[in-house]
Structure 1
Amino acid sequence: MNDSDRTPADLLRTALSDDPSRPLVTYYDDATGERVELSVATFANWVAKTANLLQDELSAEPGDRLALLLPVHWQTAVWLLACSSVGVVADLGGDASGADLVVSGPDTLEAARGCSGDRVALSLRPMGGRFPQPPEGFVDYAVEVPGQGDQFAPYVPVDPDAPALALPDGSELTGTQVVERARADAAARGLGPGGRLLSALPYDGWEGVSAGLLAPLAGGGSVVLAPRLERLDAASLDQRKENERVTHTVD
């Protein structure tokens, strides 16, 4: 951890310099059996590629608003940090018609069509797979992101005191406020280096994105995302916790 970090992207850079090989985000889909584990280095690579897509291909600029219409998923976590890297405001579940661009999963395509700007669609298929048939009017994320650069540098420095995260309750947080709240949450949960939090919360407000990414990142720990945890019986849940070396649970 670094006390000088003032944006979520700063937190990721610090994690990368501290221990790039440690796990950061592990994602389970208990409906399909999918499990994806991303180290800090792998996650940071996805964030860099996505930030380059935002900045270079979609011409996003600091202050632009991105309606993030995605469920809990490892790729949603990537988009949150990519927005922070560019200075784009990530609007959780935001109104696409009022956004500069929109990122949608397969279940929110109709709502996303309300955006008059660029539209990006994610299939959310295992291993980040493509759509069998790309949705009309959308860029297929899985097609475009692999060719983006592995390193990212913003054209304009990100202002940590500018809006960074818009929440469904209408509140907005600056990058500095996001970091401060994430650190406070990590401390309140006792999350430190090596801590591993299992979260079943949706990304529909601060509590979900804090438990599901930001607090573990701020505390030097990692997160296990399991949005369909209710599919597990008690014995299977206990086995999951043991297998994943879970130290904290939020559901």
Structure 2
Amino acid sequence: MNTTDRTPADLLRSALAADPARPLVTFYDDATGERVELSVATFANWVAKTANLLQGELAAEPGSRLALLLPAHWQTAVWLIACSSVGVVAEAGGDPAGADLVVCGPDELERARACSGERVALALRPLGGRFPQPPAGFLDYAVEVPSQGDRFSPYAPVDPTAPALVVEGEELTAEQVVERARADAARYGLSAGSRLLSGLPYDRWEGLSAGLLAPLAAGASVVLCRNPGRLSGEDLDKRRESERVTVTAL
């Protein structure tokens, strides 16, 4: 963490400079048994590729509005920081009809069709797999992102005081997102090396913060759990132990 960081993308750059090899996001889907662990460097690579897709093929620019219709998932976390990298306003659970572009999972395809701009769909399959058959009217993220560049440079500087995130009807600037994330990190007692296990959804600030932003602001890491209700109390305790969890948000 660097005290001069003013955007979520800045927080990631500082994490990359400090220790690129350390774990940043460990993801579980307890409906499928999937487990994925991403180091800071691997996560940053996915962010760069996604930001290049946004800025290039999708022609997004600072101020563009992106309806983010995705669950708590490691790929959603990537999209959040990619939006910050470009200056795109991520609207968590936003109305696709009023957005410039939409990114959705397989359960939100019909709703996402209301967007008249670019539409991207994620299969949310293990290992970032593609759709067996791409949904009509959508780009398949897993098909489009691998060929994107591994380094990203925005065409225009991102303004930290411009809108960056809309969640629960509240619009936040990039600076406000970082400030809130730092405050939450302090409230959770996070520091470098902390491991926060989150089973909270990404359509609320609390879930976005616990599931990515607060750990990122503190130099900590997150164990992000989708469908945690399928776990017994004993299984959850075992996960906390095996993942060296220090803080839990459920």
**TM-score, normalised relative to structure 1:** 0.99
Partner amino acid, structure 1, of 2:23: P
Please state if 1:211 is matched with 2:206.
no
CA RMSD of aligned residues (A): 0.5
Instruction: Give the match for residue 70 of structure 2.
Output: 70
Please state if 1:247 is matched with 2:246.
yes
How many equivalent residue pairs?
Answer: 250
Query: How does 1:146-157 map onto structure 2 within 5 Å?
Result: 146-157=146-157
After TM superposition, give the deviation of residue 155 of structure 1 in Å.
0.3
Instruction: Give the match for residue 105 of structure 1.
Output: 105
Partner amino acid, structure 2, of 1:226: C
| CA displacement 1:120-165 (0-9 Å, x = unmatched) | 0000000000100100000000000000000000000000000000
Query: How does 1:73-88 map onto structure 2 within 5 Å?
Result: 73-88=73-88
Q: Distance in 1 between matches of 2:27 and 2:61?
A: 30
Instruction: Give the match for residue 46 of structure 1.
Output: 46
Instruction: Give the match for residue 120 of structure 1.
Output: 120
Identity across matched positions, percent: 76
Instruction: Give the match for residue 30 of structure 2.
Output: 30
Partner amino acid, structure 2, of 1:176: E
Instruction: Give the match for residue 167 of structure 2.
Output: 167
Query: How does 1:135-146 map onto structure 2 within 5 Å?
Result: 135-146=135-146
Q: Distance in 2 between matches of 1:242 and 1:44?
A: 27
What stretches of structure 1 of length at least 5 have no aligned partner? Answer: none
After TM superposition, give the deviation of residue 70 of structure 1 in Å.
0.4
| CA displacement 1:203-242 (0-9 Å, x = unmatched) | 0111000000000000110000112222111221111011
- 2:211 is paired with a residue whose SS is helix
Query: How does 1:183-222 map onto structure 2 within 5 Å?
Result: 183-222=182-221
Q: Distance in 2 between matches of 1:137 and 1:229?
A: 32
Once superposed, which parts of structure 1, at least 4 consecutive aligned residues long, lie more than 2 Å away? none
- 1:147 is paired with a residue whose SS is coil
What stretches of structure 2 of length at least 5 have no aligned partner? Answer: none
Partner amino acid, structure 2, of 1:212: G
Q: Distance in 2 between matches of 1:116 and 1:201?
A: 30
Instruction: Give the match for residue 226 of structure 1.
Output: 225
| CA displacement 1:148-190 (0-9 Å, x = unmatched) | 000000000000000000012x210000000000000001110
Q: Distance in 2 between matches of 1:31 and 1:137?
A: 28
- 1:159 is paired with a residue whose SS is coil
- 2:56 is paired with a residue whose SS is helix
After TM superposition, give the deviation of residue 5 of structure 1 in Å.
0.2
- 2:107 is paired with a residue whose SS is coil
